[in-house]
Structure 1
Amino acid sequence: MFVHCCHCRWCQRETGSAFVINAILEADRVELLAGTPEVIDTPSNSGRGQKIARCPTCKVAVWSTYSMPMFRFVRVGTLDDPDIAPPDVHIFTMSKQQWFELPPSSLAFVEYYDSSKVWPAESLERRAAALAKAPST
Structure 2
Amino acid sequence: MPTVMADAVDVYPLQGGCDCRAVRYRLESPPLFVHCCHCRWCQRESGASFALNAMIEADRVTLLAGEPELVDTPSASGKGQKIARCPQCRIALWSNYAGAGPSVRFVRVGTLDEPDHLPPDIHIFTASRQPWVVLPPDTPAVPAYYDRKLYWPADSLARREAMLAKAAPPSA
Q: Normalised by the shorter chain, which TM-score bucket? A: over 0.9
Quick check: 1:36 aligned with 2:67?
yes
CA distance in 1, matches of 2:105, 2:130: 26
Between the two structures, name the one with larger relative contact order (CA 8 Å, sep ≥ 6).
1
Alpha-carbon distance, 1:135 to partner:
4.3
Q: For residue 49 of structure 1, what is the aligned residue in structure 2?
A: 80
Residue deviations 1:46-79 (CA, integer Å, cap 9, x gap): 1111000002332100000012221000000001
CA distance in 2, matches of 1:77, 1:128: 27
Residue of structure 1 aligned with 2:104, choices 47, 66, 71: 71
SS in 2 for 1:31: strand
SS in 2 for 1:63: strand
CA distance in 2, matches of 1:136, 1:43: 27
Alpha-carbon distance, 1:35 to partner:
1.0
Identity of aligned residues (%): 64
Q: For residue 85 of structure 1, what is the aligned residue in structure 2?
A: 118
Q: For residue 14 of structure 1, what is the aligned residue in structure 2?
A: 45
**1:46 counterpart letter in structure 2:** S
Q: Aligned pair count? A: 137
For the pair shown, the structure with the greater C-alpha radius of gyration is: 2
Q: For residue 62 of structure 1, what is the aligned residue in structure 2?
A: 93
Q: CA RMSD of the aligned region, Å?
A: 1.3
**TM-score, scaled to structure 1:** 0.95
Residue deviations 1:2-50 (CA, integer Å, cap 9, x gap): 0000000000000000000000000011133311111000000111110
Point out the more displaced range, 127-136 or 109-118: 127-136
Over 6 Å off, 4+ runs: none
CA distance in 1, matches of 2:168, 2:95: 19
Gaps of 5+ in 2: 1-31
Residue of structure 2 aligned with 1:98, choices 124, 131, 140: 131
**2:39 counterpart letter in structure 1:** C
